[in-house]
Structures are given as structure tokens and as C-alpha cells.
Structure 1
Amino acid sequence: MHIHIAMMGRVTEPVTKAFQALGYDKLYLLSGTKFQESIDKVTESLSNFKVEVIPEYISGFDFQEIVNTIYRIYERENEKGVTFSINITGGTNLMAAAACSCAFFIGATIYYVMDDDKPVKEQVLSIPTPKTPNMAALKEETREILRYILKKVESGGYATTAELMEEFNKTKQTLNHQINILREEGLVENGEIKRPDGKVDRRYKSIVLTQQGRLVASWI
């Protein structure tokens, strides 16, 4: 089952072109109520191919509403064998930004549809996305560690293994296991600690967030 989530304004071609190229099974249309005519046009066009079209009415200028809507779709549809894709071509720039953020977390492929004279399949471009972390592998106590590291970084500091052991009352073995989970998901890495004279203290390593880790820690 391929579920396609499309941002759409008045223009319908990016949605129908994506179907020609990808052949999705179910379509969620995120659009405004003032574009009902366009929604009806897409629904009628895809009904010939037995594609279920479900409109989701949102404000194109409410980032959180867009994010919440996409997550709600994901929670409703996510099961074994289901793949998700997101079409960011239509709607507002904010809709595209919110959709890209969501794609990262739900493991969806992002598509952008060009408007040119090339064959349709060449107009539908797949946008590379970072490796999606396995959120199911992050138990609450592991998420707490991630949030704590973010808090330290935002305050201008850094976290060490010894500090985390004390803060979360963990043995070194248990903490290292949780840090390794975060490292395997690409969320943390080892960092350097500098002495007051500016030289690197090679006796210790800090635990720092990757760019991906900072994003995840801000959301969970």
C-alpha cells in the first residue's frame, strides 16, 4: 500500500502527474476550503483508477496544524507493508517546509514535480532525505538522555559519560548501551573537551548531538 500525501493549492497538475509517475493507492490532499473545486477535480480524475482521495482541510500558514495533520495521517495508516510519500510542490512555502520536517520523522519519500516538457516520470523528482532514526528504538529513558544533552548544548556546555551516569543514576555499562543506541541512529557522536589553555584534553570525550540529533531532541 502506497499512501501519498500532497500539498495542494489551486493547481492540480502536480498531484495528477505524481500519480502517473508513482501509481499510489491512496491520496491525502492537504488544502484549504477555498480550493474545493480543485479538490473535486483531482477526486474525479483519480476515481477512474480506484484511488481513494481524502481531503484534509488546513490553513496553509499554520505550521503546527500542517505537522499535526500529517502525523495524524501517519498514525492512522502506519502498519506493516505501508509506504508513505509526500508531494511538496503545491500550496504555500510553509506547507512545503512542514511537510519536509514530517517526512524526516515518518520515513516518507519527498517528491517535487517540475513543470516542463520532459516525460512525466522525469518531471517527478525524488528529494534525498537524511537517514530516518528508528524512533521505536528510543525508549523514554533514552529520549530523556537525548533531551538532557540538548539542554546542556543550548546552555553553552557539554555532556560527559560521567555526568550522565550521575544525572540518570546509571552504571557505565547501562549508559554506554543507551549512548550506543543513539550513536547507531546517527543522533550523537564523540566530541572534544578543551582545557583552559585551549588544548584538547585527550583523557575525556564529550557526547555531542549531530545535526540530526539536535532536530530529533527538539521534537521528542
Structure 2
Amino acid sequence: MHIHIAPMGESTQPVTKAFQALGFDKLYLLSNKKFQKSIDHVTESLSSFNVEVVPVFISGFAFQEIVDAIYRVYEAENGKDVTFSINITGGTNLMAAASCSCAFFIGATIYYVMNDDRSVKEQVQSIPTPKTPNLAALKPETRKILRFILKKVEDEGYATTAELKDEFNKTKQSLNYQINILRNEGLVENGEIVQSNGKVDRRCKSIVLTQQGRLVASWI
């Protein structure tokens, strides 16, 4: 199932064009009650295609409210064979910014709808985004390890596997399993410990955060 999330103001074209190009199954419209006529127009336009339209009323100027609304949609719909996309064309600039932020964490494809003389498919542009980590793979213990790595990185520039083993009372095998989860999601990578004489200490393994890892560790 393809779930499409679309902030929308008065103009309905970005949403209807997105449907023509993408053909989603269910639409969540993030809008304001003052645009009820526009919501009704989209609902009627898509009714013949059996697309369920769900209005979500929010303020277009409350960042956290927008983020919370998108996460509620994700939590309600996330499951096997479900894909998400977010249309950042309509609504306020703040709605677009919040939608972009959420897209990274829920694994949604971002779309922007142009308004020119090209075909509708060409007007609906996919916005490249970084590899999205699967946050569902980060169980509570894995998240604690990631936050600990962030603290060590901020204090010392890296975390060592020895520190992680001591902090979480892990065997080497168990710790490697957790680190591999983070590594596979693109959140951590191996680092080097350089001694005062300039030589790399091969006896001790260090873990550092990727840019995405730092962002996720700060978020969770």
C-alpha cells in the first residue's frame, strides 16, 4: 500500500497532480479547517479511484504539531509492504520544512510538484534524500548504545569497544551484534585511535558516528 501525506492550503493542484503521477492508495491531507472546500474537492476528485482521503487538521505555523501529526500517520499505517511519500509543495514553508524532517525518519520519498508546461509526470519531481535508517530496527538497548557513543564522541571524539563492553556488560559477540545493527543502518563506522607519537593504536577498536548517526542519536 502506498500512503501519501500532503500538506495543503487552498490550492489542490499539487495533490491531484501527485496522484496522476504516483497513483497512491491512501491520502492524508494536512490542512486547516478554513480550507474545507479544497479538502472536499480533493476527496471528490479521488473518490472514483477508491482512494481514501483522511483530513488531518493542524496549524500551518506550529512545527511540532506538524511533526506529531506525521508521526501519528506513520505509527497508524506502518507495516509490511507499506510505502510512504510526502508532498512538500502545498501549505506553508514551515509545513514543508517539518515534512522534510519527518521524511528522513519514516523512510518516505519526498516529492515536489512543479507548475510548468511539461507533462504531469515530469512536473512531479522526486527529491533525493540520504539513506534513511530503519528506526524500527533500533531496539531500546541499541538506542542506549547509540546515545552512549554520541556522548563519548562529543567528549573524546570516539568511543572504544572496550568502553562499550564495560558500560553495557556485553560479551564481544553480543556487542558486535549491536554495533553491526548500527553500522548496517549507516549510523556508525570504525575509527582510528592515534597515539601521542602519531601512530595508530591497532590494539583498540574505536567507533565513531556518521553524520546521519549524530543526527539520529541526537533525535532519539
- Give the TM-score normalised by the residue count of structure 1: 0.92
1:201 equivalent in structure 2? 200
Stretches of structure 2 that go unaligned for 5 or more consecutive residues are: none
Within 1, Cα distance between the matches of 2:171 and 2:182? 17
SS across alignment from 1:112? strand
Cα deviation code 1:16-74 (max 9, x no counterpart): 10011111121100012222222222222222323221110111222211111111111
8 Å CA contact retained: 1:67, 1:99: yes
2:85 equivalent in structure 1? 85
Q: Does 1:23 align with 2:30?
A: no
Superposed displacement of residue 211, structure 1:
1.1
Larger deviation, residues 48-57 vs 130-139 = 130-139
1:13 equivalent in structure 2? 13
8 Å CA contact retained: 1:192, 1:205: yes
Aligned-pair identity in percent equals 79
Equivalent pairs counted in the alignment come to 219
Q: Does 1:3 align with 2:40?
A: no
8 Å CA contact retained: 1:192, 1:200: no
Within 2, Cα distance between the matches of 1:131 and 1:2? 19
In angstroms, what is the RMSD of aligned CA positions?
1.7
1:68 equivalent in structure 2? 68
Within 1, Cα distance between the matches of 2:27 and 2:174? 44
1:183 equivalent in structure 2? 183
Superposed displacement of residue 200, structure 1:
4.6
Within 1, Cα distance between the matches of 2:154 and 2:192? 17
Change (3 A) 1:159 1:47: same
- Give the TM-score normalised by the residue count of structure 2: 0.92
8 Å CA contact retained: 2:158, 2:207: yes
Structure 2 counterpart of 1:79, which letter? G
Change (3 A) 1:116 1:156: farther
